[in-house]
Structure 1
Amino acid sequence: MSRRVPHGRSGSRRVAVLLSAIACGSVLVSCSSDDGGGSGATASITPRPTPPNTSNFTGTPPSAIASAASSIIASASERAASAAASVEARASEFAASVSADTARAAATAEKELKNVQGSGNATSEVAMTGVPLAETGGVRAVLITITNRSGETASYAVQVDFKNPDGKVVETKFVGKENLEAGKKATPIVISRQPAEPQLTAVLTKAQRY
């Protein structure tokens, strides 16, 4: 004899399952039911990911960074060009001012030293001091100090050679002072036209009192 389940109990169970399914769908969760033992449905909730809060972001967009970098580079280039032009201008002014004062004396000194044998008779009365490049606009220059220790008025002719690291003379300059009184000093300047590199050494080659 078969046993039928009363319609009342079956309908109640279907309603419960339906309500469970509706509940699962309304909160976007995954549900599973277990009929074993009639324990009902169990639900596991997977939370939705929270989008980032862009108001907390810091920094500059890439396009703005590139623009800023270009501006910085352009500005630095302009400053470098301006500084180079300024240095060149100062060097030209320095060389011009020295040349105006010493051109004739240099020509006279070269002429006087042409026939001088050895180092001359006045090397002990001549000293040399390098002039800082910052003061000459990057031009290599040497300050010559001539001190007349002869006891009477005299004229002086000086030859300075510039040698490279190998000891080879790459440039020769002349400078002089005419009619220097006894006990007095003169401070002409010798200017090299050679590049800043390689480093050169200034050597007092001849000094003649006449």
Structure 2
Amino acid sequence: MATATLYDQNKNQVGECTLSDSVFNVEVRAYLLHDMVRYQRAARRQGTAAVKNRSAVSGGGKKPYRQKGTGNARQGTIRAPHFVGGGVAFGPSPRSFTFKLNRKVKKAALCSALSARFQAEKLLLLKELSLDAISTKEFRQIVERFELEGALIVIDSENKNVELSARNLPKVKVLRAAGINVYDILKYPNLMMTEAAVTEVEGALEQ
């Protein structure tokens, strides 16, 4: 079983935490991370780009001129794509960019991301993380104490003092364990988790 040092908020060592090898110490498979990041980014796309085709443009109810005798090429409507003010040919229409990934692939990708942070020694574990009041200054001091350039901080459950204190820090994000994901783990150079969050994540991924 893998182990990691457990700290308190003042960066004092308070013990060790045993980590599941099946979650935090698996082989890092880059192709799974790539697939999962594509999946998450595609799901976030709005897909609302749209243009009017020839059937949606107003006007053009009759032929612009008669079929024969004018010397011009025959035309059926002035709202065809080659006319100014006409509809757009093959333009975008509202669509969903989402695609399917198997549940096992999602779990394996998340385990790979967690293992990548652990194996790179970019995983920090806290006994607990709590604040008496909402204070960005106090939260920044905790982050600076651990000398982190940027970090994803995962807590086990709702903690408004922590979550609201962190939201104005540009290189820090706080997530609850239920919302941990591959994209955010890879986006931030460091991963900090509370002991309770580790237990919750392991319980979800070992099923």
TM-score range, shorter chain: under 0.3
Structure-1-length-normalised TM-score:
0.22
Tell me which structure has the larger Cα radius of gyration: 1
Structure-2-length-normalised TM-score:
0.22
Q: Which has the higher contact order (CA 8 A, sep 6+)?
A: 2
Greater percentage in helix: 1
Greater percentage in strand: 1
